[in-house]
Amino acid sequence: MRILLLTAGLFISGALFAQNYTRDCGVRVGDYFSATFRAYQEEDQALEGVVFIGRRGATIGVLKEYFEPALGHVSDHLYFTYGMGVHLGFRYIDHYRVLNRVYQLNEFRFTPLLGVDGMIGLEYRFPEFPFLISVDLKPYFEYSTPQIFSIYLQSIGISLKYRF
Contact 157, 31 (CB under 8 A): yes
Q: For 164, which DSSP code?
A: -
Could you read off the pLDDT of 79-90 as tens digits, one per residue? 999 999 999 999
Domains of the chain: 21-163 (2.40.160.20)
Residue type, 56: R
Q: CA angle, corner 134, sides to 154 and 159, nearest 5?
A: 75
Looking at residue 2, its pLDDT comes to 54
CA 106 – CA 32 distance, rounded (Å) = 26
Looking at residue 17, its pLDDT comes to 46
Looking at residue 14, its pLDDT comes to 47
CA 73 – CA 23 distance, rounded (Å) = 27
Residue type, 147: Q
Looking at residue 61, its pLDDT comes to 97
Residue type, 76: D
pTM for the model? 0.80
Looking at residue 150, its pLDDT comes to 85
Looking at residue 16, its pLDDT comes to 47
Cα distances (Å, whole numbers) of residue 108 to 26, 48, 58, 94, 103: 32, 32, 15, 4, 13
Looking at residue 38, its pLDDT comes to 98
CA 15 – CA 48 distance, rounded (Å) = 23
CA-closest candidate to residue 156, choices 129, 131, 136? 136
Could you read off the pLDDT of 45-72 as tens digits, one per residue? 999 999 999 889 999 999 999 999 998 7
Show the low-confidence residues of the chain (pLDDT under 70).
1-19
